[in-house]
Amino acid sequence: MMNSTWKNISLSRLMLGTVQFGLPYGVANRTGQPDYRDVLKILTAAIEGGVNCFDTAAAYGNSEEILGRALRELKVTDRVTVVTKFKPLTPEELADPALAKAALEASVESSRRRLQLDCLPLVLFHRETDAVHRPALEPLQESGKLRYVGVSCAHFPGPPHSYVESGLMSALQLPANLLDRRHESSGIFRDAAAREVAVFIRSAFLQGLLVMPERDIPVELQAVIPARRRLEQLSHDAGIDLAELALRYLLSQDAVTSVLIGVETVEQVEENLARFERGPLPPDLFSAIQAESFDLPELIVTPGMWSPR
């Protein structure tokens, strides 16, 4: 497993997403929420394959609790890095600094308890709007309850640059994939890396839309099909599947620290580990993808606009 170094911490370039541990998630999810025995098998396969970082959130059902229990049972808590997210602030908390501070402190205490960690290695604001309350977290860092702070960003370029330039954020989680290159084109990957700000990529498969069977694509999203077919032709010509093309395209960008992948089964862990082991794409294939221009409606590349499922 290839690793990146961030603030003297070695992070595997595959970061395992665990939202599925706490609730059914994703347009392509067909197996639902794995039970605890399956979670242990998934984590064991990932760790044995070299994965040492895991993504969760206070808002992901009981994902934090399950992950913390499983890592403790597997006796690997001290060998891995868990990235979690603050509970989103309510409108009342967002508008009142005192309420926001209390809510963020309560979120940290709850995450420490559920994850069974004295110090949370990295916590992200789950919503960009909440990041205005970044100063409220300094006492938690000084007390050793929280080490680093970052932010999970939306699909639109602009704000991530301000977070990097401010020096207040140690990590960004950004959506990016073969069809959504808005952040990539903005130069934020490079600018963040230059300031030692970690870049974690989510939505590598566009929440499953890139890799689900074509016949299963919801009617409202079928405008993606022509673009998918062009990418499928590139992957076919290269002798790999579309999922591998999607992952290795992101691995081809040195400024990306880790790529976040959610899984539901051990088989999916093993498949993705094999794809990561093959490393970046050949330069000519990478260039061929970048030469493609997909004029897709915003609805297609912004999952937050999709109808609930």
- Is residue 256's pLDDT more than 70? yes
In 3D, which of 297, 200, 216 has the Cα closest to residue 27?
A: 216
Phi, psi of 122 (to 5 degrees): -155, 125
How far is it, in rounded angstroms, from Cα 231 to Cα 285?
Answer: 11
What are the DSSP calls for 26-47, one per residue? -TT--S-SPPHHHHHHHHHHHH
In a domain, 73, yes or no: yes
Q: What pLDDT score was predicted for residue 28? A: 44
What are the DSSP calls for 203-262, one per residue? -TTTTTTTTS-GGGS-GGGGGGHHHHHHHHHHHHHHTS-HHHHHHHHHHT-TT--EEEEE
Residue 29 pLDDT level (bands cut at 50, 70, 90): very low
In a domain, 235, yes or no: no
Entry field: residues in the chain: 309
Question: How many domains does one find in the chain?
Answer: 1
Q: What pLDDT score was predicted for residue 25? A: 56
In a domain, 294, yes or no: no
In a domain, 270, yes or no: yes
How far is it, in rounded angstroms, from Cα 256 to Cα 201?
Answer: 7
Q: 83 and 71 in contact (C-beta within 8 Å)?
A: no
Residue 30 pLDDT level (bands cut at 50, 70, 90): low
Which of 19-23, 85-89, 99-103, 140-144 comes out lowest in average pLDDT? 19-23
Phi, psi of 74 (to 5 degrees): -80, -5
In a domain, 226, yes or no: no
Residue 88 pLDDT level (bands cut at 50, 70, 90): very high
In a domain, 238, yes or no: no
How far is it, in rounded angstroms, from Cα 262 to Cα 126?
Answer: 17
* CA dihedral sign of residues 256, 153, 260, 201: negative
Residue 73 pLDDT level (bands cut at 50, 70, 90): very high
User: CA 80, 85, 86, 91: dihedral to nearest 10 degrees?
Assistant: 180
In a domain, 215, yes or no: no
- Is residue 23's pLDDT more than 90? no
| Percentage above 70 pLDDT, the chain | 97
Convert the pLDDT of each residue in 95-128 to its tens digit.
Answer: 999 999 999 999 999 999 999 999 999 999 999 9
Q: What pLDDT score was predicted for residue 295? A: 86
Residue 32 pLDDT level (bands cut at 50, 70, 90): low
pLDDT (mean) for 225-246: 97
- Domain containing residue 42: CATH number: 3.20.20.100
How far is it, in rounded angstroms, from Cα 197 to Cα 295?
Answer: 31
Tokens of 52: 């040492």
In a domain, 22, yes or no: yes
Convert the pLDDT of each residue in 162-191 to its tens digit.
Answer: 999 999 999 999 999 999 999 999 999 999
Comparing 308 with 196, which gets the higher pLDDT?
A: 196
- Is residue 31's pLDDT more than 90? no
Domain carrying residue 47: 3-209+250-279
- Is residue 262's pLDDT more than 70? yes
